Amino acid sequence: MPLAAHAITVSLGQRTVLQDISFALAAGTVVGLLGPNGAGKSTLLRALAGLLPHAGTVMLAGAASAGLTAAERARRLAYLPQQRIISWPLPVADVVMLGRLPGRRLGARPSAQDHAQVDQAMAMLDLEGLRQRPATALSGGEQARVLMARAVAQATPVLLADEPAAGLDPAHQIHLMMVLRQLAGQGRCVLVSLHDLALAGRWCDRLLVLKDGALVADGAPAAVLTAATIRAAFGVEAAFTADGAVLAPVALAGRSA
Amino acid sequence: MSRALNPLLAVLVLVLFVVSLLVGPAHLGIMESLRGFMAGGSEATAIILRDIRLPRALLGLLTGASLGLSGAVLQGLLRNPLADPGLIGVSATASLGAVVVFYSGLAGLSTLLLPLGALLGGAVAVVILLAVAGRGNSTLTLILAGVALSSLAGALISLALNLSRNPFAAYEISFWLLGSLKDRSMAHVYMVAPLMLAGFGLMALAARALDALSLGEEAAHSLGVDLKRLRLLVIGGVALATGAATAVTGMIGFIGLVVPHLVRPFTRGLPSAVLLPSALGGAALLLAADSFTRLVTTNVELNVGVVTALIGAPFFFWLVFRTEGEAA
């Protein structure tokens, strides 16, 4: 298993934000992390990335993450934060190349393999036309794709992405999910937090649902995205397609549509 | 352009270094000056060049490089183009150390007691900052601690000026605070050069992590950056370089703030790519400003710190408005 979490508990001050979360992710799968605002999705991803002190253990390809150095962890796991920060007007290609830092020795120039990984990531995210543009001058959606390409170029067995689809137009949302499927096809394991239930149901192999810091559902989309689970976790009524997939949330639970 | 930048700046520094050796109140010709370095010249020329102008030029080179590099590194760490080496409080506390030496009257005993006192003052700030960096989890806390140290040191300097019963001591303190490279000896160079070079080394080790930090602290962490180690490297490096610079020259403003801005547009923009040009640019700017103070003849020689601020502040004003224009 590329990533396994055992009894992850996170407390911030007196408040328990995540309670006893355990799961293991298989290689070659896209796993969606769902839950209402404040359920603990970002906290869970940050704990898995080693950014937050937590109880319980995170295993990366059989090694305890807590025992790895930051550099060793960076070769096994890439994490795309929700907050999109690009501090300097760097060319797009240079931002994506930052994803290759963990594999490079101090002072070394990017190798042919580094350039190949960057080119591949940029092609996947449809960025070739923007290669030399300053990333800070791009639209929000374009910046999101640039930062995603950075995480993809890191070429790690595990990719954690915190709401990468937020702020993307529908075409680029679908394109992004296709990229995640492609990564899974290369044998990588992707854990992605999402708010769009239809997108999650359509493109993920498996869904984890968090509510109030606890894991309330875990399974295949068809099993998780039922009217009852959606009502319990999100407090909304959803409309479904004829074959049972979520179409869209349409009303608050307990009120008529 | 970005490839030619460093060689161009290096040539500029070299030229300005030679200019710095050639200008001064004693009007020596170029050939005479050159002979002063070789065995052939007169003894007076040799003394002027080796004991007065060479240390001055060397300190201009090293101090300018220290300030430019420190500014670039701090701007990278804070991801903020307004960061200045003075921000972490080491130059203020180093100044306080020097002021204490003036105030106590020890300055008269040896010219080296002044920089020693300043180094001691800077060291106190470093110990406090490293303690903060070692336990804290936030760059902001670290900078706020530096700002607090700066304010405290500034208040204590004002207190010393306020309480000074000897008007000459107060005058000397104010004058020293203006920053100058005048009348420094090779002993000053030997005292601070190793500290500055050690600081350069620490800052160079931070270069790659600063690049990763362009994407924010969380992304940098996921790229394998140990943020605590990075903060220690940057604080240690900036403190060594600017503390040592302040100890021998007093306060020289604006180089650390302005030079990284000047060179950044000629690079691809990554913090690591800005470091060497900032060091070279800082050295060039300070050497030029210091030569300028000797070329304009007024009754009193201008302090180079005054000149850098006079050039730097309006220039910075222009930069701010230009940047705003680009962002709009």
Which pLDDT does position A257 carry in this prediction?
47
- Contact list, A79 vs chain B (CB under 8 Å): 218-219, 221-222
In the numeric block, which tokens belong to residue B70? 């420190």
Interchain CB distance below 8 Å, B224 and A70: yes
- Asked if residue A17 lies in contact with residue A191, where contact means CB atoms within 8 angstroms, the answer is no
CB pairs under 8 A between A and B: 89
Which among A70, A72, A90 has the least Cβ separation from residue B268? A90
In the numeric block, which tokens belong to residue B223? 């790229």
- Contact list, A49 vs chain B (CB under 8 Å): 218, 221-222
**What is the 8-class DSSP label of residue A4?**
E
* A17-68 pLDDT tens trace: 999 999 999 999 999 999 999 999 999 999 999 999 999 999 998 899 999 9
**Rounded Cα gap, residues B209 and B201, in angstroms:** 14
Query: Nearest chain A Cα to B206, which residue?
Result: A106
Per the confidence metrics, is the pTM higher than 0.95?
Answer: no
Which among B225, B226, B269 has the least Cβ separation from residue A90? B269
**Rounded Cα gap, residues B97 and B32, in angstroms:** 40
Cβ partners under 8 Å of residue B328, min gap 6: none
Three-class secondary structure of residue A125 per DSSP: coil
**Rounded Cα gap, residues B328 and B321, in angstroms:** 11
Query: Nearest chain A Cα to B204, which residue?
Result: A107
Which pLDDT does position B36 carry in this prediction?
65
Tell me which of B222, B267, B270 to substitute to probe the interface with A (most A C-beta atoms closer than 10 Å): B222
Which pLDDT does position B102 carry in this prediction?
84
Tally Cβ neighbours within 10 Å of residue B255. 32
- Asked if residue B196 lies in contact with residue B62, where contact means CB atoms within 8 angstroms, the answer is yes
**Rounded Cα gap, residues B216 and B79, in angstroms:** 8
- pLDDT lower than 70: segments of chain B: 1-2, 27-28, 30-41, 136-137, 297, 323-328
Tell me which of B223, B263, B268 to substitute to probe the interface with A (most A C-beta atoms closer than 10 Å): B223
Mean pLDDT of chain B, nearest integer = 87
Phi, psi for A162 (deg, rounded to 5): -95, 105
The dihedral formed by the CA atoms of B203, B209, B210 and B211, expressed in degrees to the nearest 10: 130
Interchain CB distance below 8 Å, B221 and A70: yes
Rg, chain A, Cα only: 19
Q: Does B228 touch chain A (CB under 8 A)?
A: no
Q: What is the DSSP string of B40-74?
A: SS-HHHHHIIIIIIHHHHHHHHHHHHHHHHHHHHH
Three-class secondary structure of residue A63 per DSSP: strand
Cβ partners under 8 Å of residue B46, min gap 6: B36, B37
Cβ partners under 8 Å of residue A165, min gap 6: A173, A176, A177, A194, A195, A196, A199
Interchain CB distance below 8 Å, A85 and B226: no
> What b/e sequence results for A221-237 when a residue is b if at least 16 CB atoms lie within 10 Å of its CB, and e otherwise?
beebbeeebbeebbebb
Query: Nearest chain A Cα to B208, which residue?
Result: A106
Tell me which of B1, B208, B215 to substitute to probe the interface with A (most A C-beta atoms closer than 10 Å): B215
Which among B208, B215, B264 has the least Cβ separation from residue A150? B215
- pLDDT lower than 70: segments of chain A: 255-257
> B241 pairs with which residues across the strands?
none
- ipTM score of the complex? 0.90
Query: Nearest chain B Cα to A69, which residue?
Result: B224
